[in-house]
Amino acid sequence: MFAKTLIMKLMFRMMGLPTCEEVDQFAYDFLAGRLDAKIIHQVERHLKTCKNCQKFMVSYRKTYALAQNLPPPTLDSEFKEKMFKFLSKKGDA
């Protein structure tokens, strides 16, 4: 298993492509479109040859999409009211 990973690593290096670890690190920025066009191209080429990273990227993309659809965190109004009362009481004392 280890030897296989090492061979893959060398192979990607020789092809001038990022290794699996690097694809892993680039994943977020890759999906956010924040990478250099050149690196995006390299990551895409890696994905074409690497089943592991393909699977990883599919599940990562789902997580990423979910995170994008979440509403921004807000304080609920009841909490705000309690906090306001608490703070104003504190001011009286």
> Of residues 17, 43, 50, 57, which one binds Zn ion by CB under 5 A?
50
Q: Counting contacts by CB under 5 A, is residue 24 touching Zn ion?
A: no
Alpha carbon distances (Å) from 9 to 16, 68, 72, 83? 11, 32, 39, 55
> Of residues 9, 20, 39, 60, which one binds Zn ion by CB under 5 A?
20
* Cβ–Cβ < 8 Å for 26, 3: no
Phi, psi of 19 (to 5 degrees): -80, 175
Give min distance, CB of 20 to Zn ion, in A. 3
Stretch binding Zn ion (CB under 5 A), from 37-45, 53-61, 64-72, 74-82:
53-61
